[in-house]
A and B are shown apart, each in its own frame.
Chain A
Amino acid sequence: MKIETSRRKFLQGSVALSIFGGTAMIPAIQLSDEKDTNTKKSYTIPTLCEMCVNKCAAIAKVESGIVKKLDPNPAFPKSKNMLCARGVAGIHALYDPDRLKYPLVRIGKRGDGKYKRVTWDEAYEAILNGTNMFKGLAQILDEEKDNRSTIGYCAGEGMAEHTYKSFIADKLGSTNFVNHASICLQTVVSGYALTIGSYGQVDLENAKYVIMAGANRAEAIVTPDTMDAFKRTRGRGLELICVDPRFTHTASQADKWLGINVGTDLAFVLALTYVAISEVLYNQKFVAENMHDFDVYKAHILENKYTPEWAEKITGISSENIREVARGFMAAAPRAIYYQGRRTAWSKQDFQLRRAQAIFSAMGGGIDIKGGIVFGKKIPLGDHEVNTPMYANAEDRIEKDAAAIIGGAGSWIGWRNKIIEGRSSYPIRAMFTYKQNPMLSVPNVAKTKKMFEQMDLVVTIDTMPSDTVMMSDVVLPECSYLEREDPVRSFGGVEPSIALRQKVIEPLYESKPVFEIMRGMAKKLSLPLWEITKKYDEDVQDEIKEMKPAEIIEYYKENGFDLNDAFVHSQEHINKERVVSEHGEKAYEVLKETGVFYPNKEQYYKQVSANEFEYYPEDKRHYTISKDGFEADVYHDTCLDEKALAAMHSKLKTQSSKVECNLPNLAKKGVDPMPTWREDLYKKTEKGKFRFISGRHAQFTQNGTSNNAMLLDLVRENYAWINQKQADELGIEHGDLVEIESKIGKVQIKAYPTNKIIEDVIFYIHGFGAQSDGLTLAHRNGASDNIIIDDVIEPVFGSAAMHETDVEVRRVAL
C-alpha cells in the first residue's frame, strides 16, 4: 500500500506509515500521537471481545494509557470465564502497525494501492461528489433517477453491523444488502428455523450423546459449547461421535470418528432416520404429540429405502456404524443432539441436510429440554427506533430469482454474478463495504475483483488494509473494538444475560467507531441527496408541491429524509436508555461496572472453585420455554435478521407449532417438502482428482486476524492436508510445495501429508493468502481458498456451496 502524504503533514510527526514501520511491533510508535498524552491513566474495564463472533467477556488492564492485558471476565454466562488465543491477542489487533489510521482517497488505478491521506470531511466530500478518479454518489443517484438500490452494500458479522445496515437500508434506502449469511450459516439456521422454529442452542452441560458432523468445536470455538463439551467427553458423561472427512481436534476428543465422504452427510442422516424408524427406536409419545406429518415422513423414508447399506455406498461409513450410532443416539435421547453446526453450506443439498438433522434430533424428543436443543430465555432491552423515509424509486433487490428463497441477507454469489454478467435489471454502481473482506471471503476471487472493478464508487470501512480495501476509492478507518462502545446486547439462552462492549481507550490516530462514521456521512449526504429525491421522486413531489419552503423542510424532517436524525444521541446514551427503561438505573450501573447484568445476579452469581463460577442456580435455568409449544424468540448469533426470518416463517405458513416434517409450501418453490437424497445434486469426485474442503481453527478468525503477530507465532501459514497414502503415490512429502488447481484458479501451498484425512480430499484452512501489500505479515502468506473454490449456488437459499469443487494436485518442481 502506497500512501502519499504531504511533507507538511509528515513533519507533524504523527504519521506511522506501514511502509516505514516495517515489522516493528512496539506500541510506543503509535503513542507518540499527541492526543494520547492526556490519557496516561491506569485502570481495568470490562468489555466484550470481537476477535471472532462469540463476543466473550474480557477485562482490559490499562497501564499508563496502554492496554497491557486482556483477561477473561468470569461474570458472563456465555463465555464462562475464558478468553481464547485470539481474544488474548486482541491487543495486537489494537496496536497493529499496519492499521488504517486516517481516511484515504484513491489516486492511482483501482487495485494498485495508491492512496492520498485526507481529512474526514474530504473523504465524505469524495463519497458525495467523487474526484477526478471516480464518480460520487450525487452524480450516480442523479443518473439513476434516485433509485437508491443502485448502492450495493455488504457487512460482516459484528455488534455494530446493525448500525451500518440500518443507515444504508433504512435511511439511504437501498435494498441491495448482502452479508455473511449466504457464505455462512444461512442454510443451517433456516433449516432448523423452518423445522423446529429456531436454530436454538444446545445444552452440552447435560447432553449424553452428541453427533458433531462437520462441526469442529475443539478448533472452531463457540461459547459456551466448546467449554461445556470438552470437560465431559471421553468417559465423562458425553458420548461424542465426530463425523468429518478430517480427524480434527474434535475427533481426537470423540468416542468415534467416522470419516465421511464429502457432500454425503444427508445420506448419513437419512439412514440414521431409517434405522430409528424401522427399529421403532424413536420417542413415540413425543412424535405423536409434537411432530407434524411424521407419518408422511416415515412412509417417505421407508419407501425410498434409505437403508444403512444404501448409505454405506454413498458415505463410505459402514452400515454397522450407522446402526450403532442410530441406536446409541435414540438410547440416550432425549439427552441426545444432532449438533446443528455453523459455517457455510457445504453441498447443494445443505438445506435438506439441516432439515433432516433437526427432524432426527426431534425424533428422540430432545427439543426444548435439558440435555437437548434448547431455546432458553432472552432478557428484554428497550427499543431504539429509526425514522425511515420512503423512496418511491428504490427498486427491489436484483437477485430475487437466484434461488428458491432469497431473504434480506441476500445471496452473495448470486448477487455478484448478476452484476458482472450484466443480468441485473438495473445497474449496481456503488459498493459500500463494512467489516467484510469479499476479496478473500467469497468464492471465486476473480469474479469478486471484476465486480469491484465495474463499480463507479467503492467505499470501504475497515480497521486493516485488506484486499478489499485495495479495491476501494474511499477508505474510512474504523477503530478497533477496544476503542468504542457498541450497541448493548441481550444474550438469550439457558442462562441469559445482557452484556456491554465498552470503550477501553480512546480511538487511536483518526479512526472512529462506525456509529460516528455514519453520523459524519449523514451530515454530508443528507441535503444534497434530498435534492435528488425531490427531482425524481413523484410521490414526494406530489406531497410537497403545495408546500412553502419552511413546510418542505418540516416534511423532510418528519418523514425521515433527514439522515441526521438517526444520530442525534451518542451510542452511550442510546445504550443507557435501552437498559434503564427496562431494568432501572441500578442495572445500568452493574452493567457498566461488571460488564454483565441479569436480574438477581447479586443473588445467583458465585464462585464455586478456583476456576468455576455459577450464574444461575439449577432450578432457575431456562431449559424449557413452554409446556405446549416452541417459540422462536432466541436466535443464537444467527448472522440473520430475526425479522426477515420470522417473516419468512409466516409466509411459508408453517404454523402447526410442531416440528415440521413435511413442508408442502416449499414444493411450490420447487424445493423438496421433505429431506430427499437427490442423486442429480450429488457430484462424485472425478477419478484422479480431489474434493476440496476448507475450515477453521482456534488461532485465526477467517481472514480478519491474518496480520496478527501473536497469532502468527502459533500458526505461521496454512498447509494443504493430503492423505498420506496418496501423497506417497504422488511423491509428495511434508513441506513440499504443491500446486492445487480447480477449473477457476490455482494456488501454491506447502503440503501436509497425514493419515488424519480420508482419501480423495484436499483441505486447507481459510483466511490466508492475502495479496494486499499493506499487510506486512499476512501479505502472500499461504494460500487463499476462494481463489480455487468454484461459485456453486445452493438452490434453496442461494448460499455458497463451498465443498463442491474438484481440484488437481501436483508437486511443484523447484
Chain B
Amino acid sequence: MNYAMALDYQNCINCKACEVACKEQNGVQLGADKQRIWVGQTEKTIFGNPFVNFYPSQCNHCVDAPCVDVCPTGASYFAEGGLVMANKDKCILCKGCMEACPYDARFVDDKAVAVDKCTFCYDTRISKGETTTACQATCPTKVRLLGDLDDENGELVQILKNRKFFVLKEGEGTVPKLLYLFPRDEKFAMNSIGEETQIYSWNEYKSIIEKASIKRGA
C-alpha cells in the first residue's frame, strides 16, 4: 500500500470547499492561517491580460520526507501506506519539521499544542472504510483522486498511465506524492507550469519512487 493523490488542477475554481471539508472532518483549529490544505492562487499579466491559476495543495506525503528526518522525538513518522504522520503526544513543538518541509504543509495546532498536518484523512475516514478524503469527496469539480501507487490496476495508476504529470519542487528531492495532472490544454499548461518543471510519465516517476523507497529501506 502506498497512498498518493492525483490532482486534476485544471478543474480547480478555488471555491475552497476542500479547505472547509478538511477543517470540519478533522477538527482542525479555526483561523485563516490554520490550514492542513489550501488553494494557492498565482496571478500574472500575459501580453496585457490577467492570468490567474489555482494550485490546490496539502502535505505531499513525500517518500523521502525531510520532516521525518529532522524530528528529534519520533513524532513525525511514516505510517501505514507511506503516510507521513505527526504524533501530537510526542511533539515538543521544536518546529524543526515546519522548517524542513519545502511545502509549508505544517502548522501549530494551539489546542493540542503540537504540530498539525494533513493525514489524507486516514484516521477520520480511510481507516473507517471510506475510500475518499474529505477534500476529494466534497469538491464540485472533482480535482482530487486518492489511490494506491502499488495497485497497478487501480483507478489512480490507470490515470497516471494515461496522463503525464508533474510534482511541486521536485528539485528538493523529497519525492512528493501529490501528482499534478498535465492539463489537456497546451496554452494553459504553458502558462501554469514553470519552464524548468519536469513532466513525468508513470514509468519514469515509478522508478524515482522505487529508488527513494530503497534508500529509506521501505
Does any Cβ of A come within 8 Å of B52's Cβ?
Answer: yes
A257: chain B residues at CB < 8 Å are 49-50
> How distant is A245 from chain B, measured CB to nearest CB, in Å?
13
- Please tell me if the beta carbons of B24 and A91 are within 8 angstroms of each other in the complex: yes
> How distant is A757 from chain B, measured CB to nearest CB, in Å?
9
A235: chain B residues at CB < 8 Å are 183-188
Expressed in whole angstroms, the Cα–Cα distance for A91 and B54 within the complex equals 27
A70: chain B residues at CB < 8 Å are 24
Q: Say which residue of A226, A236, A713 sits within 8 Å of B185 (CB atoms).
A: A236
Does any Cβ of B come within 8 Å of A71's Cβ?
Answer: yes
- Please tell me if the beta carbons of A87 and B17 are within 8 angstroms of each other in the complex: yes
- Please tell me if the beta carbons of B45 and A253 are within 8 angstroms of each other in the complex: no
> How distant is B129 from chain A, measured CB to nearest CB, in Å?
13
Known A218-B15, A234-B185, A236-B185; contact A710-B140, beta-carbon cutoff 8 A = no
- Please tell me if the beta carbons of B23 and A710 are within 8 angstroms of each other in the complex: yes
Expressed in whole angstroms, the Cα–Cα distance for A236 and B34 within the complex equals 35
Q: Say which residue of A83, A89, A249 sits within 8 Å of B13 (CB atoms).
A: A249
- Please tell me if the beta carbons of A84 and B187 are within 8 angstroms of each other in the complex: no
Known A69-B25, A247-B52; contact A236-B184, beta-carbon cutoff 8 A = yes
Q: Which of A164-172, A283-291, A606-614 forms part of the interface with chain B?
A: A606-614
Does any Cβ of B come within 8 Å of A666's Cβ?
Answer: no
Known A226-B13, A714-B32; contact A756-B52, beta-carbon cutoff 8 A = yes
Which parts of B15-61 form the interface with A (CB within 8 Å)?
15-17, 19-21, 23-25, 30-32, 34, 43, 45, 49-54
- Please tell me if the beta carbons of B30 and A71 are within 8 angstroms of each other in the complex: no
Which parts of A214-233 form the interface with B (CB within 8 Å)?
218-219, 221, 223, 226-227, 230-231
Closest A residue by C-beta to B32? A713
Q: Which of B78-86, B141-149, B169-177, B196-204 forms part of the interface with chain A?
A: B141-149
- Please tell me if the beta carbons of B24 and A84 are within 8 angstroms of each other in the complex: no
> How distant is B158 from chain A, measured CB to nearest CB, in Å?
10
- Please tell me if the beta carbons of B183 and A756 are within 8 angstroms of each other in the complex: no
Expressed in whole angstroms, the Cα–Cα distance for A230 and B10 within the complex equals 8
What is the interface residue range for chain B against chain A? 35 or more
- Please tell me if the beta carbons of B141 and A227 are within 8 angstroms of each other in the complex: yes
Known A69-B24, A219-B13, A226-B141; contact A234-B147, beta-carbon cutoff 8 A = no
> How distant is A456 from chain B, measured CB to nearest CB, in Å?
43
Q: Say which residue of B20, B141, B184 sits within 8 Å of A89 (CB atoms).
A: B20
Does any Cβ of B come within 8 Å of A446's Cβ?
Answer: no
B32: chain A residues at CB < 8 Å are 713-714, 716
Closest A residue by C-beta to B189? A235
- Please tell me if the beta carbons of A88 and B132 are within 8 angstroms of each other in the complex: no
A71: chain B residues at CB < 8 Å are 134, 137-138
B139: chain A residues at CB < 8 Å are 82, 611
> How distant is B48 from chain A, measured CB to nearest CB, in Å?
8
- Please tell me if the beta carbons of B185 and A609 are within 8 angstroms of each other in the complex: no
B146: chain A residues at CB < 8 Å are 610
- Please tell me if the beta carbons of A234 and B142 are within 8 angstroms of each other in the complex: no
Closest A residue by C-beta to B26? A69
Type the 1/0 row for A84-118, where 1 means its CB is closer than 8 Å to any CB of B.
11011101000000000000000000000000000
> How distant is A92 from chain B, measured CB to nearest CB, in Å?
9
Q: Say which residue of A83, A84, A234, A711 sits within 8 Å of B183 (CB atoms).
A: A234
Does any Cβ of B come within 8 Å of A139's Cβ?
Answer: no
Expressed in whole angstroms, the Cα–Cα distance for A393 and B136 within the complex equals 59
Closest B residue by C-beta to A257? B49
A251: chain B residues at CB < 8 Å are 50, 52
Expressed in whole angstroms, the Cα–Cα distance for A68 and B25 within the complex equals 8
- Please tell me if the beta carbons of A82 and B140 are within 8 angstroms of each other in the complex: yes
A234: chain B residues at CB < 8 Å are 10, 183-185, 187-188
Closest A residue by C-beta to B39? A714
For B30, B147, B155, which residue has the most chain A Cβ atoms within 10 angstroms? B30
A219: chain B residues at CB < 8 Å are 13, 15
For B17, B43, B50, which residue has the most chain A Cβ atoms within 10 angstroms? B17
- Please tell me if the beta carbons of A83 and B30 are within 8 angstroms of each other in the complex: no
> How distant is B164 from chain A, measured CB to nearest CB, in Å?
15
- Please tell me if the beta carbons of A72 and B138 are within 8 angstroms of each other in the complex: yes
Known A234-B10, A234-B183, A252-B51; contact A611-B145, beta-carbon cutoff 8 A = yes
- Please tell me if the beta carbons of A226 and B145 are within 8 angstroms of each other in the complex: no
Expressed in whole angstroms, the Cα–Cα distance for A71 and B125 within the complex equals 12
> How distant is B187 from chain A, measured CB to nearest CB, in Å?
7
Known A218-B15, A714-B19; contact A611-B142, beta-carbon cutoff 8 A = yes
Which parts of B70-109 form the interface with A (CB within 8 Å)?
none
> How distant is A75 from chain B, measured CB to nearest CB, in Å?
14
Expressed in whole angstroms, the Cα–Cα distance for A106 and B198 within the complex equals 67
- Please tell me if the beta carbons of A84 and B155 are within 8 angstroms of each other in the complex: no
Does any Cβ of B come within 8 Å of A386's Cβ?
Answer: no
Q: Say which residue of A69, A85, A716 sits within 8 Å of B16 (CB atoms).
A: A85
Does any Cβ of B come within 8 Å of A53's Cβ?
Answer: no
B187: chain A residues at CB < 8 Å are 234-235
A25: chain B residues at CB < 8 Å are 30
Closest B residue by C-beta to A710? B20
Known A610-B147, A611-B145; contact A710-B24, beta-carbon cutoff 8 A = yes
> How distant is B82 from chain A, measured CB to nearest CB, in Å?
19
Does any Cβ of B come within 8 Å of A709's Cβ?
Answer: yes
- Please tell me if the beta carbons of A755 and B24 are within 8 angstroms of each other in the complex: no
- Please tell me if the beta carbons of B131 and A610 are within 8 angstroms of each other in the complex: yes
B15: chain A residues at CB < 8 Å are 84-85, 218-219, 221, 698-699
Expressed in whole angstroms, the Cα–Cα distance for A570 and B154 within the complex equals 49
B14: chain A residues at CB < 8 Å are 218, 249, 698
- Please tell me if the beta carbons of A253 and B13 are within 8 angstroms of each other in the complex: yes
Expressed in whole angstroms, the Cα–Cα distance for A800 and B147 within the complex equals 50
For A70, A223, A754, which residue has the most chain B Cβ atoms within 10 angstroms? A70
Expressed in whole angstroms, the Cα–Cα distance for A257 and B53 within the complex equals 15
B20: chain A residues at CB < 8 Å are 85, 88-89, 710-711, 714
B186: chain A residues at CB < 8 Å are 235
Expressed in whole angstroms, the Cα–Cα distance for A709 and B141 within the complex equals 25
> How distant is A395 from chain B, measured CB to nearest CB, in Å?
47
- Please tell me if the beta carbons of B24 and A221 are within 8 angstroms of each other in the complex: no
Closest A residue by C-beta to B45? A755
A714: chain B residues at CB < 8 Å are 16, 19-20, 32
Type the 1/0 row for A747-763, where 1 means its CB is closer than 8 Å to any CB of B.
00000001110000000
Type the 1/0 row for B103-133, where 1 means its CB is closer than 8 Å to any CB of A.
0000000000000000000000000000110
Type the 1/0 row for A157-197, where 1 means its CB is closer than 8 Å to any CB of B.
00000000000000000000000000000000000000000
A218: chain B residues at CB < 8 Å are 13-15
Expressed in whole angstroms, the Cα–Cα distance for A612 and B141 within the complex equals 10
Expressed in whole angstroms, the Cα–Cα distance for A88 and B21 within the complex equals 6
For B134, B139, B140, which residue has the most chain A Cβ atoms within 10 angstroms? B140
> How distant is A777 from chain B, measured CB to nearest CB, in Å?
11
Expressed in whole angstroms, the Cα–Cα distance for A257 and B155 within the complex equals 35
Expressed in whole angstroms, the Cα–Cα distance for A116 and B18 within the complex equals 41
- Please tell me if the beta carbons of B13 and A612 are within 8 angstroms of each other in the complex: no
For B16, B31, B188, which residue has the most chain A Cβ atoms within 10 angstroms? B16
Q: A87-B138, A91-B24, A221-B15 are in contact. List 11 more A-B contacts (CB 8 A).
A: A25-B30, A83-B17, A84-B140, A85-B16, A85-B20, A234-B188, A235-B186, A235-B188, A698-B13, A713-B30, A713-B31
Which 8 interchain pairs have the tightest Cβ spacing? A235-B185, A698-B15, A218-B13, A252-B52, A234-B185, A611-B142, A82-B140, A85-B20
- What residues of chain B have their CB less than 8 Å away from a CB belonging to chain A? 10-11, 13-17, 19-21, 23-25, 30-32, 34, 43, 45, 49-54, 131-132, 134, 136-142, 145-147, 155, 183-188
- What residues of chain A have their CB less than 8 Å away from a CB belonging to chain B? 25, 68-72, 81-85, 87-89, 91, 218-219, 221, 223, 226-227, 230-231, 234-236, 247, 249, 251-253, 257, 609-612, 698-699, 709-711, 713-714, 716, 754-756
25 contacts between A and B (CB under 8 A): A71-B134, A71-B137, A83-B17, A85-B17, A87-B17, A89-B20, A218-B13, A219-B13, A221-B15, A223-B140, A226-B141, A227-B140, A230-B141, A231-B142, A234-B10, A235-B183, A247-B50, A252-B52, A257-B50, A610-B132, A611-B136, A611-B145, A698-B16, A710-B23, A713-B19
